[in-house]
A and B are shown apart, each in its own frame.
Chain A
């Protein structure tokens, strides 16, 4: 045990000393890693921002259920309870006839004629249940549930509202958000893979430059782990520093943008939210970057040293 601790401390010490003594190589490798890790971080934040935009759109979309006047309050509440139990339903808001009228009046604040007409006709607005889906893709399932005979008999003929123009609009939004989500995930994945390959290549080049050291150590009888260890430690230091620098760069960009950019969004990208997301998730993002940097760095160095550690078989 004591022997292992001595070996481990020597590996860490040698890796750290090598990092300092190979400063030029280290700066070059870290520069490349910082650029790639910064791109990954930006793509993660952009993806989260798009996700938030999609969520906001989803929250505004609901299926309205208009209850016929013959439906009793108890029947309405039973339907609300059943809807709440549906897995695809996020939340349910019930408005009785009076509340529905009030909502109608509120939402048509500027059109006084319509308000007067609605009030004078002795409240023609039916009691309404607004059903919000968890996921836009599940709107059809909610509708299917609502048109079941037991449920349908409580509603007016035009209920539920997921029909015609409204159906088309919801379907279009659903399609757009699905595409956006896929683009986001693919972009993050592509950048992550590119980042891994670039970092691997950088570390491979750094180790290639020092392959003779590995071969000398091999000739002197050093074990595989004792030779490889310091390279792994050195690469982990590259990863750690690159991750910290990438987060600092993104932080400075957001600080600068919040001062310089007056606009709160850039096309579909909500800069305000992106900034807020970065601030709220600072430690998680820093940890993620450090983990990516260290894992890719160490794995790359293990793979890159392997070829120089092989013994001749013939």
Chain B
């Protein structure tokens, strides 16, 4: 499902320091993978490479059969439609209400209004946001905003969901609500790639854990725990 082969990323302004160095990684369909590491370790860069926000300096990336080397600019929107993304800072559209934010993900792929009216309430129900459809993002709590972002990421039923520290801005109660939603989505068959440095979440989930330090993978273990020292 996700394949990275000796992928490196250097930013032009930090030529001497690689954000990622020769990362090789293979993630199977329906897996739930947690990427841990301290701030600046390269977790976000890894996810940005998968969504093609960044290009690797070297190495090969193949996601869902799409070879990024052969990907043209005009095909990038099509790629992003296949990957659901949840951002730490939510990235909700401020001028759209909850319903419209989620519906937007369907509108851009040309789904009919009728189907949108049918699907969006169902997904909002899954993330416990029933009754908040007309609220604007600024009227919601952090946890609610993040659940809107998750609803938006999963409403198209992507085969891959990438979540970049989705609990980073949330209190423990709301953080667990979000994690539960991600687990539920994974049970429906979506491959989930979650970055976090929340020790408690990692230890309770006991999933495959990939540790990144200074841009390199230092460990890759199944059913792993985390002692907070990446």
Contact = CB atoms under 8 A, between A and B. Distances in A.
Interface of A: 3, 6-7, 10, 17-18, 21-22, 210, 212-213, 216-224, 226, 311-314
B66 interface: no
B12 A314 contact: yes
A231 B30 CA distance: 39
Interface in B110-155: 110, 112-113, 152
B46 interface: no
Given A221-B108, A226-B108, A312 B54 contact: yes
Nearest to B52: A311
Nearest to A222: B108
Given A216-B92, A220-B152, A311-B73, 12 more contacts: A3-B110, A213-B93, A217-B93, A219-B51, A219-B87, A221-B108, A222-B104, A223-B77, A224-B77, A312-B53, A313-B55, A314-B12
Contacts of A313: 55
A221 B54 contact: no
Interface in B30-82: 51-55, 73, 76-81
A220 B105 contact: yes
Contacts of B108: 217, 220-223, 226
A91 to B, nearest CB: 63
Interface of B: 12, 51-55, 73, 76-81, 85, 87, 91-95, 104-105, 107-110, 112-113, 152
Contacts of B94: 213
A221 B91 contact: no
A222 B107 CA distance: 9
Contacts of B107: 10, 226
Interface centre among A22, A213, A216, A217 (most CB of B within 10 A): A216
Interface centre among A212, A219, A224, A313 (most CB of B within 10 A): A219
Contact of B95 (A21, A220, A312): A21
Main secondary structure of the interface of A (DSSP, over half): helix
Contacts of B52: 311
7 contacts: A217-B104, A219-B51, A220-B81, A221-B76, A221-B108, A221-B109, A222-B104
Given A6-B112, A216-B91, A221 B78 contact: yes
A222 B104 CA distance: 9
B95 A22 contact: yes
Contact of B53 (A3, A219, A314): A219
A168 to B, nearest CB: 69
B76 A311 contact: yes
A226 B105 CA distance: 12
Contacts of B12: 314
A69 B95 CA distance: 88
Nearest to A17: B95
A198 B3 CA distance: 50
B110 A221 contact: no
B67 to A, nearest CB: 17
B93 A216 contact: yes
Nearest to A227: B108
B68 to A, nearest CB: 12
A226 B80 CA distance: 15
B80 A220 contact: yes
B93 A219 contact: no
Contacts of A18: 95
B104 to A, nearest CB: 7
A219 B55 contact: no
Contacts of B113: 6
Contacts of A226: 107-108
Nearest to A22: B95
Given A311-B73, A312-B55, A219 B91 contact: yes
Contacts of A311: 52, 73, 76
A213 B107 CA distance: 16
Contact of A219 (B80, B95, B110): B80
